């Protein structure tokens, strides 16, 4: 997560220190007009999808690493390791 985003989120959530963080966020959402809520929902969906995509990519890379290791780990290709 981008440091600016996490700092801003911490700032938003600390505004109402007497209530749980989720409640403070819910109250802020309740104050938004319907069209802005749709935008927030789209952004949340985007974040979830991005996280899922990244997890799939990491899993695929981990699963393929042993197969590629037999091809890439050889003396002829050692010169490329320094790049």
Kindly report, residue by residue over 52-80, the tens digit of the pLDDT: 999 999 999 999 999 888 887 888 877 88
Q: How far is CA 80 from CA 1, 34, 66, in A?
A: 31, 54, 18
d(CA 80, CA 83): 5
Residue 14 pLDDT > 80, yes or no?
Answer: no
- Picking from 35, 47, 37, the residue whose alpha carbon sits closest to that of residue 6 is 47
pLDDT above 70 covers a percentage of the chain that reads 78
Q: Are 42 and 49 contacting, i.e. CB atoms less than 8 angstroms apart?
A: no
Q: Are 12 and 24 contacting, i.e. CB atoms less than 8 angstroms apart?
A: yes
Under DSSP, is residue 51 helix (H, G, I), strand (E, B) or coil? Answer: helix
| pTM listed for this prediction | 0.56
């Amino acid at each position: 997560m981008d440091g600016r985003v996490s700092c801003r989120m911490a700032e938003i959530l600390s505004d109402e220190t007497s209530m749980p963080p989720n409640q403070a966020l819910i109250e802020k959402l309740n104050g938004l007009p319907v069209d802005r809520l749709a935008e927030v929902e789209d952004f949340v969906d985007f974040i979830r999808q991005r996280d899922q995509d990244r997890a799939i990519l990491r899993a695929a890379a981990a699963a393929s690493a042993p197969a590629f290791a037999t091809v890439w780990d050889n003396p002829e290709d050692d010169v490329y390791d320094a790049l």
